[in-house]
């Protein structure tokens, strides 16, 4: 009988150790990129090819390369290529004359510029610079005194905030997520925060982001 209990004890210990190792930190293991934001975006066609193409079409390359004196560092809430592609496909479905886009070059330069600048803040905000939400209030309530408010170069107002989670029944012991709220359009899904090229930070938005609604 003692041997059976000893065997179960060993199994339980192995299981506990194995479970501990599978608590995965989903953050970027090395957040630093040796190049500009534009270099980073160009390094990953799968996620950013249309984003890069739109930046170039809008004549905003200098901004993303850190060559604008008034914005040596920026925060880019980066829309992935898939979101931009979906926006173009929806324009084709709507079939509004003058607003049908089959490729980036179909879009007016000024429209691309307007969209992109709504995703750029002229200051570097890392995840660690963002305040936690006050959980006593919804993110859009007037009494909400948590989070960090920002005004993008495009003039739109957004509120970034951190939210902790529980783990193993312990409050605030789990992962801390970076979240984004548009004061005009509501919640914006964030995928990967704190990618750090030399001239700022990229917080990648989720593929489900509805492009332009920020």
Each residue of 106-159: pLDDT tens digit? 999 999 999 999 999 999 999 999 999 999 999 999 999 999 999 999 999 999
- Structural contact between residues 170 and 178, judged by C-beta atoms closer than 8 angstroms: no
Q: How far apart are CA 83 and CA 95, in angstroms?
A: 19
| Structural tokens at position 124 | 């570097």
- Structural contact between residues 191 and 205, judged by C-beta atoms closer than 8 angstroms: yes
State the CB neighbour count (10 A cutoff) for residue 26.
Answer: 7
Answer yes or no: is pLDDT of 187 > 90: yes
Encode 61-83: b = buried (16+ Cβ within 10 Å), e = exposed: eebbbbeeeebebbbbbbbbbbb
pTM of the shown model: 0.83
The predicted pLDDT at position 30 comes to 77
- Please give the domain boundaries of the chain with CATH numbers for all domains: 28-205 (2.30.180.10)
Mean pLDDT along residues 14-28: 34
Q: How far apart are CA 123 and CA 128, in angstroms?
A: 14
The predicted pLDDT at position 4 comes to 39
Sole residue written with tokens 């990229």: 202
């Amino acid at each position: 009988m003692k041997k059976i209990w000893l065997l179960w004890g060993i199994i339980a210990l192995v299981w506990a150790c194995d479970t501990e190792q599978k608590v995965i930190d989903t953050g970027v293991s090395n957040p630093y990129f040796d190049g500009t934001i534009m270099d980073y975006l160009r390094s990953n066609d799968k996620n950013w090819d249309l984003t890069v193409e739109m930046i170039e079409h809008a004549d905003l390359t200098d901004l993303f390369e850190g060559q604008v004196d008034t914005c040596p560092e920026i925060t880019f809430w980066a829309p992935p290529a898939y979101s931009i592609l979906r926006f173009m496909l929806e324009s084709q479905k709507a079939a509004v004359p003058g607003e049908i886009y089959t490729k980036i070059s179909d879009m007016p330069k000024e429209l691309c510029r307007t969209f992109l600048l709504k995703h750029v803040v002229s200051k570097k905000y890392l995840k660690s610079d963002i305040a936690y939400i006050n959980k006593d209030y919804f993110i859009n309530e007037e009494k909400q005194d948590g989070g960090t408010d920002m005004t993008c170069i495009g003039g739109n107002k957004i509120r970034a905030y951190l939210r902790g989670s529980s783990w193993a029944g312990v409050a605030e012991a789990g992962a801390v997520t970076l979240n984004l709220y548009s004061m005009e359009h509501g919640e914006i899904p964030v995928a990967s925060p704190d990618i750090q090229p030399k001239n700022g930070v990229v917080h990648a938005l989720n593929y489900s982001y509805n492009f332009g609604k920020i």
